[in-house]
């Protein structure tokens, strides 16, 4: 699930009128995704949503997304809930798409504009701040990074490519987006562009119009997703987690296990509904993505969780799993008690857990065991549960 940013408070920008254009009109075929890469899932969300959310959090508005013809529905679904977003159809080249976007924004007359590639999902707020700060002295600013590798020109010699003269890496920089401009100047520059069919970036268009471009520090996190391997970098293909929980049995309490209410002489006591099985499963999911435990997210000291249904905790854990870029591989839940009998309720439990996590019930196992009358579970003083999960990278 994606966060709804329609009511998210925005921090004030250094300048009161800053818009953004997010260029998302390409096909992205090299990324090997079934749909254009800007709309494909990456770390649990469509690629484009990551940077658009970052712009919205920074207070940028409006955010104009330039999309391909026929992509209206998929684009709207990818960015649902972000109130500041608008859409327009792009052109045959990136430069044309940006110009068309600038023409649309001209009606609202923003003072500044950020132009960003949708394929760069991670957009640190510090980069936005540096870019907008640089516009106080120059009409344009771009984020750059130094070149770490040695460089050389490639030359063709008798049909083979060979190394030519070395290039000074000290004089070169890697250019990123977003690129920031005073709006009237960049609009005029794009209208006047008569260079190559497709400009490399907007700074090239601005420079051709005689505009000076400031450079600010970029960020390695602004990596552009280009190839299929980019959708797999930095995340193991499988993660596992385990969870364990115990609750006391008491008279007068309701008994909830795996989201199913069971009629019994005793129920489980706890701050919430004390569903020991869901609590163990939540801990397993949180552990698999390194997000702590249930007490950190839903502390028993917080009165808002008193008597709360544990399905809310499980849905939250499932959301964090998806945001981390994973899906449930399988879940194995073992309930430890003398009574009640779990067998008659097993399928209902599997179905309910699958419903909360929005997965197929075949991925969920629920089983039970006793401790042969030994210990607190053997004396029917409480119920324990252990859970194990595997997650697979999306």
| Tens of pLDDT, residues 126-157 | 999 999 999 999 999 999 999 888 888 888 87
Measured in whole angstroms, the distance separating CA 211 from the mean position of its chain's CA atoms is 35
Strands 260-262 and 255-257: antiparallel
Q: State yes or no: cis peptide before 140, omega within 30 of 0.
A: no
Query: So what's the pLDDT on residue 65?
Result: 97
With bands split at pLDDT 50, 70 and 90, how would you rate the model's confidence at 7?
very low
With bands split at pLDDT 50, 70 and 90, how would you rate the model's confidence at 3?
very low
Residues 121, 101: Cα–Cα separation, whole Å? 20
Average pLDDT over residues 318-338: 92
Average pLDDT over residues 211-222: 94
Average model confidence (pLDDT) for the chain? 89
Query: So what's the pLDDT on residue 34?
Result: 55
Average pLDDT over residues 276-293: 95
Residue 10, pLDDT above cutoff 60: no
Residue 387, pLDDT above cutoff 80: yes
Fold exhibited by the domain 238-393: 60s Ribosomal Protein L30; Chain: A; (3.30.1330)
Query: So what's the pLDDT on residue 11?
Result: 52
Domain range list for the chain: 18-231, 238-393
Residues 279, 284: Cα–Cα separation, whole Å? 9
Residues 302, 264: Cα–Cα separation, whole Å? 28
Provide the percentage of residues in the chain whose pLDDT is more than 70. Answer: 91
- Residue 371: exposure state from Cβ atoms within 10 A (0-12, 13-18, ≥19): middle
Average pLDDT over residues 266-270: 92
Average pLDDT over residues 203-211: 95
| Tens of pLDDT, residues 227-239 | 776 665 556 789 9
With bands split at pLDDT 50, 70 and 90, how would you rate the model's confidence at 163?
confident
For the chain, the first-to-last Cα distance in angstroms comes to 14
Query: So what's the pLDDT on residue 28?
Result: 55
**The architecture CATH gives domain 18-231:** Alpha-Beta Complex (3.90)
Q: In this predicted model, which residue has the larger pLDDT, 339 or 226?
A: 339
Range name among 33-42, 58-67, 370-379 with the lowest pLDDT average: 33-42
Query: So what's the pLDDT on residue 338?
Result: 95
With bands split at pLDDT 50, 70 and 90, how would you rate the model's confidence at 281?
very high
Average pLDDT over residues 214-235: 80
Query: So what's the pLDDT on residue 167?
Result: 81
DSSP letters spanning 276-300: HHHHHHHHHHHHHTT---HHHHS-T
2 to each of 79, 239, 325, 376, how far by Cα in Å?
9, 22, 12, 42
Query: So what's the pLDDT on residue 136?
Result: 93
Query: So what's the pLDDT on residue 244?
Result: 97
Query: So what's the pLDDT on residue 2?
Result: 33
| Tens of pLDDT, residues 168-183 | 888 899 999 999 999 9
Residue 14, pLDDT above cutoff 60: no
Q: In this predicted model, which residue has the larger pLDDT, 245 or 154?
A: 245
Query: So what's the pLDDT on residue 231?
Result: 67
Range name among 82-91, 256-265, 285-294, 300-309 with the lowest pLDDT average: 300-309
Residue 30, pLDDT above cutoff 60: no
SS3 state of residue 244: strand
Residue 105, pLDDT above cutoff 90: yes
Query: So what's the pLDDT on residue 164?
Result: 78
Tokens of 137: 């002295």
């Amino acid at each position: 699930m994606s966060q709804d940013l329609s009511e998210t408070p925005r921090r004030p920008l250094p300048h009161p009128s800053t818009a953004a254009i997010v260029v998302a009109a390409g096909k992205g075929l090299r990324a090997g995704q079934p749909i254009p890469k800007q709309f494909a899932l990456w770390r649990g969300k469509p690629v484009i949503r990551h940077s658009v959310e970052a712009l919205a959090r920074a207070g940028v508005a409006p955010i104009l997304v330039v999309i391909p013809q026929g992509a209206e529905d998929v684009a709207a679904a990818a960015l649902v809930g972000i109130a500041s977003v608008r859409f327009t159809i792009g052109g045959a080249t990136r430069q044309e798409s940006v110009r068309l976007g600038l023409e649309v924004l001209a009606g609202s007359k923003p003072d500044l504009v950020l132009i960003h590639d949708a394929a760069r999902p991670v957009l640190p707020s510090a980069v936005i701040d540096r870019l907008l700060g640089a516009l106080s002295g120059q009409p344009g600013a771009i984020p750059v990074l130094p070149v770490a590798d040695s460089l050389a020109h490639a030359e063709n010699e008798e049909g083979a490519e060979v190394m030519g003269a070395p290039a000074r890496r000290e004089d070169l920089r890697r250019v990123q987006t977003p690129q920031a401009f005073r709006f009237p100047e960049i609009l005029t520059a794009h209208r006047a562009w008569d260079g190559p069919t497709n400009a490399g970036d907007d700074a090239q268009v601005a420079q051709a119009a005689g505009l000076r471009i400031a450079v600010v520090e970029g960020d390695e996190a602004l990596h552009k997703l280009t190839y299929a391997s980019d959708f797999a970098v930095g995340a193991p293909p499988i993660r596992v987690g385990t969870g364990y929980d115990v609750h006391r049995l008491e008279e007068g309490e309701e008994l909830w296990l795996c989201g199913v209410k069971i009629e019994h002489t005793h129920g489980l006591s706890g701050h919430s509904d004390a569903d020991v099985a869901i609590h163990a499963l939540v801990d397993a999911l949180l552990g698999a993505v390194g997000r702590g435990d249930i007490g950190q997210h839903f502390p028993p000291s917080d009165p808002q969780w008193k008597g709360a249904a544990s399905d809310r905790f499980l849905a939250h854990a499932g959301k964090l799993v998806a945001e981390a870029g994973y899906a449930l591989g399988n879940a194995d839940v073992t309930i430890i008690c003398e009574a009640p009998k779990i067998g008659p309720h097993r399928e209902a439990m599997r179905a309910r857990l699958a419903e909360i996590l929005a997965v197929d019930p075949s991925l969920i196992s629920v089983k039970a065991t006793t401790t042969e009358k030994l210990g607190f579970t053997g004396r029917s003083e409480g119920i324990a549960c252990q859970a194990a999960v595997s997650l697979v990278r999306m």
